[in-house]
Amino acid sequence: MKFFIDTADVEAIAELNDLGMVDGVTTNPSIILKSGKNILDVTREICSIVSGPVSAEVVATTADDMIAEGRKLAQIASNITVKVPLTWDGLKACKVLSSEGKMVNVTLCFSANQALIAAKAGATFISPFVGRLDDINMDGMELIADIRQIYDNYGYDTQILAASVRTVNHVTQCALVGADVITAPPAVIKALASHPLTDKGLEQFMKDWAKTGQNIL
């Protein structure tokens, strides 16, 4: 499963990228706002660090304007993925942009039917929001599983990019049900390395090592 980092924090991206933990990056208007930077400048900087897909989201609401914004964003770098919302206009933009050879990430997906029509419109990635479904007492992982079955049934190439991933358990569950990609904040990725028994075991090892009075260096 691929790891995309859901942030525009360049330092955090670079740190995880150096560890081989970054297969791509996702951004959205809220993330750009938090960065305090110009969307074109920060996206260009991210693309200089990461070789995998970097999602940059359009902010227009009509198909023609989405297409124009998507074309401009795609000029930033060859690994730009144009991110469009799962609306009818977004699907129109997806069809045009994907037909031009551009990668397209269709975002804000909350149903299997939405995922199906996004695939038919040529989406490179579909982004179901598992955390937001959990917020309203629906099962985000059930949606991932349903999309996986539909795509496998009919051989769609669209990759399932599980978004709104908030916990390490979300990551595990996404891997188990067959998501192609998860996108999560840096803190969630780092938390994957943590376990209380690891901490406890290391603490005991250090105590025992101190009793030996030895040094390795």
Active site residues: 83
CA distance 134 to 141: 9
Closest CA to 25 of 59, 55, 57, 70: 55
Query: How many CB atoms sit inside 10 A of residue 72's CB?
Result: 14
| Per-residue tokens: 160 | 């399932």
CA distance 91 to 15: 35
| Per-residue tokens: 185 | 């904040």
| Per-residue tokens: 184 | 């999560």
